[in-house]
Amino acid sequence: MENSLFWNRFKHNKLSIAGAIFILLSFFIALLGYLITPDSTPFSNNQMLSIAAKPPMFKAKIALIRKHQNIESSSFFHTMLLGRETQYQCIPIDSFKIQGDSLILNEYSSGKGDEPFESRFHLVDVVFPVDKSVPVVKTTKDNFRFKDAEGRIITISKAELIKTIVDKQIVTRTFLLGTDRFGRDMFSRLIIGTRVSFSVGFISVFISLIIGIWLGVVAGYYRDRTDVFISWLINVVWSIPTLLMVLSITLVLGKGFWQVFVAVGLTMWVEVARVVRGQVLSFREKEFVEAARALGFGDFRIIFRHILPNIIGPVVIISAANFASAILMEAGLSFLGVGVQPPVPSWGNMIKDHYGYIILDQAYLAILPGFAIMLMVLAFNFLGNGLRDGFDTKME
């Protein structure tokens, strides 16, 4: 019955429904990660400097040159979570030609006075990871024999090599959101940046809930000197500017992926503790709690079986607000250079890398990650408003 009442109140807030849908969609995008990114290399960090800072829907012809090392194939879940190393060196080109036993590439030039640069590769080197300690032997006019990086002896015709190169290793790629200043795919990095934002939100909120609920329950239930001490601690931490506290903790723990999550979580527990303390103070005087004490139930059972289930609503609401705050805080830290470190793609460090482009014709490089932050924070705020309405019994 209570669930149906909650849903009836929640669904009347259309913005909350839209926010919840956006969050779920973003969550599944972040979960799939490298499986759906055009650049599935770790951190989507495949750099092609010759096509840096290109606009959305930019198309480039790219030559895939095989690396001379054996790269093991990764499993489905490894690729989804961590990406996979590419077997090829990607070279943007204007044109190519095959001359004798070589592939000649005219590398990409912007057409703004850049000198054309020509690269030459042996046909075998383009397709196979060749063991350079053993020379490629031309057994007949049209056949090559060589040893690859795995130690296998391979014989292949020149015609097969040319067909493979033309069909599979000269490709045209479209960059949906363009490239950043290092020639990396912006769309891929925005998707992996979604994973960073969700990670910092979940971990920070989890840490803040563990600390905040525990301290809030102890202060509200036992009162007296315990309450005085915890309330003093809450007020002291509350009085310190959040960003200053996070910066201090980050400098102590060091810069890195996990450190920023812990730092943000350790500064957000005060809000949870204040809310939980107030709710517990109210519920500990209710008749059903007095009845539980009269029946001889212990404090542990009264707290976890009778009080905490009744204060879950306010805790969920503040968790949604804290999730949005954590995303903003991580973006701010990364922008300042003390958050998630390159090459890990964070929306904050993406803005930091490109804020100088705002005064140029490429402002979208900073606007796109900023817009992503704005949408995610708005979605969690809308969700929080809907949860507040859903748990508000006064609306009935």
Length of the chain: 396
pLDDT value for 2: 54
Q: Which residue has the tokens 């402002």?
A: 363
In-domain check, residue 44: no
Could you tell me if 99 and 240 lie in one domain? Answer: no
Residue 66: domain span: 58-175
pLDDT value for 111: 64
pLDDT value for 12: 78
In-domain check, residue 163: yes
Q: What is the DSSP letter of 146?
A: E
* DSSP class per residue in 234-297: HHHHHHS-HHHHHHHHHHHH-SSHHHHHHHHHHHHHHHHHHHHHHHHHHHTTSHHHHHHHHTT-
pLDDT value for 371: 94
CATH of the domain at 270: 1.10.3720.10
Could you tell me if 128 and 73 lie in one domain? Answer: yes
Query: Do the bridges between strand 170-175 and strand 58-66 make them parallel or antiparallel, or are there none, so unpaired?
Result: antiparallel
Could you tell me if 171 and 233 lie in one domain? Answer: no
Amino acid at 274: R
Query: Do the bridges between strand 88-99 and strand 170-175 make them parallel or antiparallel, or are there none, so unpaired?
Result: unpaired
In-domain check, residue 264: yes
pLDDT value for 182: 93
Could you tell me if 163 and 193 lie in one domain? Answer: no
In-domain check, residue 36: no
Q: Based on the structure, what is the number of domains in the chain?
A: 2
pLDDT value for 1: 47
Residue at a domain's end among 175, 203, 234: 175
Per-residue confidence in pLDDT tens, the chain, 396 aa: 456 676 777 777 788 899 999 999 999 999 999 999 999 999 999 999 999 999 999 999 999 999 887 777 788 888 888 899 988 999 999 999 998 888 999 999 876 656 678 889 989 989 988 887 778 887 777 888 888 888 888 888 888 999 999 999 999 999 999 999 999 999 999 999 999 999 888 998 999 999 999 999 999 988 888 889 999 998 888 888 877 888 788 778 777 777 888 888 888 899 899 999 998 988 888 888 888 888 888 888 888 888 888 888 888 889 988 999 999 988 988 888 888 888 889 999 999 999 888 888 888 999 999 999 999 999 999 998 888 877 765 544
Could you tell me if 260 and 316 lie in one domain? Answer: yes
In-domain check, residue 260: yes
Q: Are 128 and 154 in contact (CB under 8 A)?
A: yes
pLDDT value for 113: 56
pLDDT value for 74: 80
Range list of H helices, the chain: 2-10, 14-32, 76-82, 123-127, 158-164, 186-222, 224-239, 242-253, 257-283, 287-294, 299-301, 312-336, 347-354, 364-391
Q: Are 327 and 380 in contact (CB under 8 A)?
A: yes
Residue at a domain's end among 152, 175, 198: 175
pLDDT value for 3: 62
In-domain check, residue 268: yes
Residue at a domain's end among 175, 210, 239: 175
Could you tell me if 197 and 332 lie in one domain? Answer: yes
Q: Can you give the pTM of this predicted structure?
A: 0.88
In-domain check, residue 84: yes
In-domain check, residue 43: no
Could you tell me if 145 and 64 lie in one domain? Answer: yes
pLDDT value for 323: 92
Rg (CA), the chain: 29
pLDDT value for 368: 93
